Structure 1
Amino acid sequence: MTLRTPLLLALLLSTSATGIALAADAPPAPQRPVKLDTNNDGFIDRSEAAAAPHLAERFDQLDTNKDGKLSREERPRGKHGHRGPGRGHAEQLARLDTNKDGRISRQEAAADPRLAGRFDQMDINKDGFLDKADRELRMKQHRDAWFTAADTNKDGQLSKAEFDAAKGPMRGPRHEGQGPKGPARPAAR
């Protein structure tokens, strides 16, 4: 029993030292973005912008209408083209739906130049409106394209091997931007 104690102690010390060394080499945990709109009014005023020095130093330049606060449209775009905290996509579309009929007409889309420029592309069924039917058709097109690419022997059925090889949106993440065949297409916005 006396022989075991030094061995156990040595083992315990070595694993502790390894754990400490690994912890020291670990990268710091990613920080969550700071929510700047602390009063939830949809705008970032000068005092809220002070929490983000890079934004505070450009505040006057970004405040194009000089109202002392940054609206969603005035906020700078991030690395992937997204603006800072604010309205989501569905809320933005709801804002554009001025007559509240659940769809966006060409005239309503004119209030957002980016949407107006892509209106014809997004109006899949060509009925002159952007609505749930267009979203469903676009999703069906993506599913059909995925199936066609995954069905490598073109027999109209997916074998388990074809399905496993596809690794598309129906099963697990794509690896390094790759879909069933070749690079992934950019998502429609």
Structure 2
Amino acid sequence: MRNRKPLLLLALLMTTGAAGLAVAADTPTAPAAPARAKLDTNGDGFVDRTEAVKAPRLAEKFDSLDTNKDGKLSREEMPRWQGKRHGRGPGGGHERMEKLDANKDGRISREEAKADPRLAERFDKMDVNKDGYLDKTDRELGMKQHRDAWFAAADTNKDGQLSKAEFDAAKSPFAGKRGDKSPR
């Protein structure tokens, strides 16, 4: 079988939905500066309640985010979900997983997962290596399985390579379930 890595890398780089690549990052990132800059109309480095009105989701959560109760959101208080869909990616699911990791060993046991009913329900599927824990290895293996399955489906002539026509006809692995058949 020929080496698929260069073509797969090209396919990943050509997609603009970088959710799959973002999941690989282990550390949370700061909120997008341009989004914060757009909200910070007076340029003081903070987003106050009147500025937050432009972002309804932010305004709705303003009081809970303003941890020091000074009436403005600092960089540290700004939600890390800004610019992400449904809390996925660094700062979204990662922080939630850190909270579930009660013993702080860097992985989620079946017992720890019970604190989140949705996670507990999907635990067996997410535990790709079947070691009884959810961790970075499971995430990486799951992403690899997803990429390999996408590649196998896209490689219609089964030659181990993707032609431009095969790539263009394939659904992007990051397009989600919306039925979008074109790479983003």
Q: How high is the TM-score relative to the length of structure 1?
A: 0.48
Q: Which of the pair has the greater relative contact order for Cα pairs under 8 Å at 6+ separation?
A: 2
Q: How high is the TM-score relative to the length of structure 2?
A: 0.49
